Amino acid sequence: MKRILLASTAIVGFAGAAAADGHAADGISFSGDASLEWNSETDFDWGADININMTSTLDNGLTVAVDWEIDFTDDNLGNDLSASDFVLSLTSDTAGLYFGDTGMAADGKWSAVGDMEADDFSATDGETVLRGEMSFGDVDAAVSYIVDDTILVADDPLTPGVNEEVRDENTGLEQLSIGVAADLGSVSVTFGYQEEGPAAIAGQGDDYDADEVVAISASTTFGGADVSFGYASNQTESEDSLGFEVSYPVSDAVTVGFYYVAESAGDDNAGVSLDYTAGPLSASVYYRQEQEDDDYGVDVDYDLGNGVALFAGFAGGDGSDDGYYLGGAMDLGNGAEVRLIYVDVDEINGDNEYFGDDDEEGTTLSLSFSF
pTM: 0.82
CB 344 within 8 A of CB 325: yes
Report pLDDT digits (tens) over 123-167.
988 789 999 999 999 999 999 999 976 555 555 555 555 444 444
What does the alpha-carbon distance between residue 100 and residue 72 come to, in Å, rounded to a whole number? 21
3-state helix, strand, coil in the chain (%, to 5): 5, 60, 35
Amino acid in the structure at residue 366 = S
Rounded to 5 degrees, what angle do the CA atoms 241, 242, 247 make?
A: 120
- Quote the pLDDT of residue 73: 78
Coil vs helix vs strand at 108 = helix
Please tell me the predicted confidence (pLDDT) of residue 8: 39
Cβ-count burial 233-244 (b if 16+ within 10 Å, e if not): bbbeeebbbbbb
Which residues, at least 6 apart from 119, have a Cβ–Cβ distance to it below 8 Å? 110, 112, 192, 213, 215, 232, 241
pLDDT of amino acid 126: 79
What value does the mean pLDDT take over residues 30-58? Answer: 93
Backbone φ and ψ of 215, nearest 5°: -155, 150
If pLDDT is split at 50, 70 and 90, which confidence band does 102 have? Answer: very high
Q: Which of 228, 232, 266, 234 is nearest to 248 (CA)?
A: 228
Structure confidence by residue, pLDDT tens digits, 2-32: 333 343 344 334 433 333 333 456 999 999 9
Q: Check residue 149 and give its pLDDT.
A: 64
Distance CA 367, CA 352 (A): 18
Is residue 98 within 8 A of residue 129, CB to CB? The reply is yes
pLDDT attached to residue 319: 57
295-332 tens-digit pLDDT: 898 999 999 999 999 999 988 887 556 788 999 999 99
Q: What does the pLDDT read at residue 202?
A: 63
pLDDT tens digits for 266-295?
Answer: 999 999 999 999 999 999 999 999 888 888
Which backbone phi and psi does 143 adopt, to 5 degrees?
A: -140, 140
Least confident of 56-65, 79-88, 214-223, 298-307: 79-88
Could you report the per-residue pLDDT of 186-235, keeping only the tens digit for each? 999 999 999 999 887 766 778 899 999 999 999 999 999 999 999 999 99
Mean pLDDT of 76-83: 71
What is the rounded average pLDDT of the residues 247-264?
97
Burial degree of 107 (CB within 10 A; 0-12, 13-18, 19+): buried
Question: Can you say how many angstroms the Cα of residue 152 is from the centroid of all Cα atoms in its chain?
Answer: 26
Q: Of all residues in the chain, what percent carry a pLDDT higher than 70?
A: 80
Amino acid identity, residue 30? F
What mean pLDDT value characterizes the chain?
Answer: 85
Q: Give the distance from CA 153 to its chain's centroid.
A: 29
Cα gap 326→322, rounded to integer Å: 14
pLDDT > 80? residue 170: no
Residue 109: helix, strand or coil by DSSP? helix
Cα–chain-centroid distance for residue 134?
21
CA dist 99 and 144 (Å) reads 10
Greatest CA separation for the chain? 64
**If we measure between CA atoms, which residue out of 228, 38, 231, 195 comes closest to residue 119?**
231
Q: Which amino acid is at 244?
A: F
